[in-house]
Structure 1
Amino acid sequence: MPDIAMEHAFLPDSPPVQEEDLTHAFPGGLTDPSILRSFNSHERGPLKCRNHFSKILAWPWWLVDNNTRFKAIIEQSGLSQLARCTYRFVNTVLISSFVERWQPEMNTFHMTVGEMTLTLDDVGTILGLPIIGKSISVPDVTDHHGVTLLVYGFGITERAAHEEVSSAGANSVRLEWLRSQFAGVTDSDPEEAMQCAARAYLLFLLGCTLFSDKSGRRVPVVYLGLLMDLGSIHTYVWGAAALAFL
C-alpha cells in the first residue's frame, strides 16, 4: 500500500477493532449529517477502475535501441517514471472500499481508526514528481485554439488536426491516435520530428496517468500547451497538479 499520511496514529492502548465497527456506523462518527452530506450516501457495488497498463506497454520506447535522442528528451522531462508507476492488475474491491470512506467535503478518508489524507509529500514519494516549482494552470481553450496547438505541437496539417479533434470529441485527441502516429520515431528522423513525437508521447502519458478521464481513451488538447517547451517541462510542479486533479 502507498505511504498515506495519517492525522491520527494508533495509540499503544487502543482497543482492538470489533466486528460491529466494520459493519455499522463508525464509532465517534457524525452527529450532524447536514455538514458532510455525502457521509451516508456511499452505497454501491465495486467501482469500474480504468487501468492503462496495456496502453503504456504498447508504446515501449525504453526498449527501442535506435532512439537515444527520443529517450533523452523523455527522461529530461521528469515524467518518464509515470510509465513505471502503473499496475498490470487493479484490486477494484479494495479501491472501492477506500472510495466508500472518502469524504469530498474534507478531502479525507474516514476510517475506523480515525481520519487520514494524502499530502504533497506522499505524492512526491510515491510518484517521484516535483512538488516545488512553477505552478500549472490550463485555461479553457476553444476548438480553434486546440487545433492550433496540434498543428504547432505535432507538426501536422490543420485538416488532420480538425479531423482528430472531431473524432475524439471534447476538444481532445485519442490516446491510440497519438501512439499510431508518433511511435515509430528513430534517431535517423529530423530533430523537429523527434520533438513532435516526444510531445505526443508525454501527452499520451499524462492522459494515461495523471489526467485520465472516464472515457479511458482520450486526453484533452489543452495539456499540450505545457509541453511546447520541452526544456522546461521538468520545472513544473506536476506533483501538486496531480493531487489537485485527484
Structure 2
Amino acid sequence: MSEEPQTEVSQKETATPIDDTYPPDKSLLLSFKFHRARFIYLGQEPSCLRVHHHAPTWHFEKEITIVRDLVMLVGLDRISEISYEHYNARLISTIYEHWQPKANTFYFIWGEMTLSLDDVQYLIGLSADSDVPITEGSWSLSKLVEIFKKNLYQDNNFFNSIKTGGQSNSLSVIKLVNFYAGKLEKYNDSIQNERPAEQKKNAMSALYVARTYMLYVLGTFLLPVKNGSYVTARYLHFFEKDKENIKWSWGFIVLEHLFHNLGTTSRTDGK
C-alpha cells in the first residue's frame, strides 16, 4: 500500500501570535484586535449592545383585501407573517460576537457559515433575482415633499405634521401608523358629510394605504434605523406608478444592510 502524502505546514501558517490574546491562527479573525471576541477572551465585559426597536405594530391582516393584494404584488406581504413584537437581546449579541466583517462570515467552533441571497429568498421569502432598488445621493427637502405628495396625495401641511419634528425631514412611523393603519373605511365615511368645498379632505384610497404600509415595512424591518421610529420619504420612489412592473430585489438590499450592521456592531466600540 502506498503511503499517504505528507502535508508541509509553512512558517506563515504557524506564525507566533502578536500577543497571547490573539488566536494562534490569525486568519480566524482578520481584525481580532478590534473585535468584541477579544474582550470576551480577555475576560473583560464588552460594551452592551442596546437593542432599540420601538416601531409600532401595524396589524396588516386587518386591512381590506385590496390593500393586502397591492402589497403582495410588490413582494412585501410576507413581513407581517414573520415579524415579532419582541427581540432577544442576548441572542442578537451572540450573533454579533461571532461575525467576521472582513470575510462576511460567522465563525463557530465547528466551522464557518455565511448568509446568501438564496437564504434570504427561501427562508424569508424576499425576491433576490430582480432589479436592485437604489436611491443614490442625498435628497433635498423639496424633492422629498414632491415625491410624498405625488405618491400619497397629501399636501405640504400634512407632510410637516407627519415628520418626526425638529430639523429632521424623516417621517414618524408612529404618526404614519396612527393615521393610516386600519383607517381606510372609517376615514372615508367621516368625510362624506357635507362641508364647504374648501374644507373638504382628500379621500384615502387603498393604493395610498398600501404604499404607506410598504414604507413602514422598509423603515421598520428591511432598512431600519436603530430604533425603527422613522423612515425617509424617498423610499416611495420604488412604488411609483411608472415602476409598477418592476420586480424589486428586496433580498439584496436586506442582505447588504444586514452585513453593514453586523460589521459595525461586531467591533469593540459597537453600540
What is the TM-score normalised by the length of structure 1?
A: 0.76
Of 210, 231, 235, which aligns to 1:198?
210
Q: Tell me if the contact between 1:51 and 1:87 (Cα under 8 Å) persists in the aligned partners.
A: no
Of 23, 29, 46, which aligns to 2:25?
29
Compared with structure 1, are the counterparts of its residues 233 and 114 closer, same or farther at alpha carbon in structure 2 (3 Å cutoff)?
farther
Q: Which sits farther off after the overlay, 89-98 or 38-47?
A: 38-47
Corresponding residue number in structure 2 for 1:138: 135
The letter of the residue matching 1:62 is: E
What are the superposed Cα offsets for residues 61-83 of structure 1, whole Å, 9 maximum, x if unpaired? Answer: 3135xx22222212222101111
Quote how far apart the aligned CAs of 1:228 are: 1.8
Instruction: Could you tell me which runs of 5 or more consecutive residues in structure 1 were left unpaired when the two chains were aligned.
Output: 1-23
Corresponding residue number in structure 2 for 1:245: 257
| 1:82 to 2:79 alignment | yes
**Root-mean-square deviation (Å):** 3.0
Is the partner of 1:80 in helix, strand or coil? coil
Corresponding residue number in structure 2 for 1:226: 238
Is the partner of 1:110 in helix, strand or coil? strand
Corresponding residue number in structure 2 for 1:91: 88
The letter of the residue matching 1:96 is: S
Is the partner of 1:55 in helix, strand or coil? coil
> For the residues of structure 2 that align with 1:243 and 1:38, how far apart are their CA atoms?
26
Compared with structure 1, are the counterparts of its residues 26 and 120 closer, same or farther at alpha carbon in structure 2 (3 Å cutoff)?
farther
Quote how far apart the aligned CAs of 1:210 are: 0.3
| 1:177 to 2:175 alignment | yes
Corresponding residue number in structure 1 for 2:56: 55
The letter of the residue matching 1:115 is: E
Corresponding residue number in structure 1 for 2:262: none
Q: Tell me if the contact between 1:74 and 1:198 (Cα under 8 Å) persists in the aligned partners.
A: yes
> For the residues of structure 1 that align with 2:60 and 2:245, how far apart are their CA atoms?
19
**Alignment coverage as a number of residue pairs:** 217
Larger Rg belongs to: 2
The letter of the residue matching 1:95 is: I
> For the residues of structure 1 that align with 2:109 and 2:149, how far apart are their CA atoms?
53
> For the residues of structure 1 that align with 2:124 and 2:171, how far apart are their CA atoms?
25
Quote how far apart the aligned CAs of 1:231 are: 6.9
Q: Which sits farther off after the overlay, 187-196 or 134-143?
A: 187-196
* Identity %, equivalent residues: 24
Instruction: Could you tell me which runs of 5 or more consecutive residues in structure 2 were left unpaired when the two chains were aligned.
Output: 1-19, 40-45, 189-201, 259-271
Quote how far apart the aligned CAs of 1:188 are: 9.5
Compared with structure 1, are the counterparts of its residues 78 and 169 closer, same or farther at alpha carbon in structure 2 (3 Å cutoff)?
farther
Compared with structure 1, are the counterparts of its residues 101 and 84 closer, same or farther at alpha carbon in structure 2 (3 Å cutoff)?
same
Is the partner of 2:83 in helix, strand or coil? coil
> For the residues of structure 1 that align with 2:221 and 2:128, how far apart are their CA atoms?
17
Corresponding residue number in structure 2 for 1:70: 67
What is the TM-score normalised by the length of structure 2?
A: 0.69
Corresponding residue number in structure 2 for 1:236: 248
Q: Tell me if the contact between 2:145 and 2:159 (Cα under 8 Å) persists in the aligned partners.
A: yes
Of 126, 129, 154, which aligns to 2:126?
129
Q: Tell me if the contact between 2:49 and 2:93 (Cα under 8 Å) persists in the aligned partners.
A: yes
Q: Which sits farther off after the overlay, 84-93 or 40-49?
A: 40-49
The letter of the residue matching 2:171 is: V
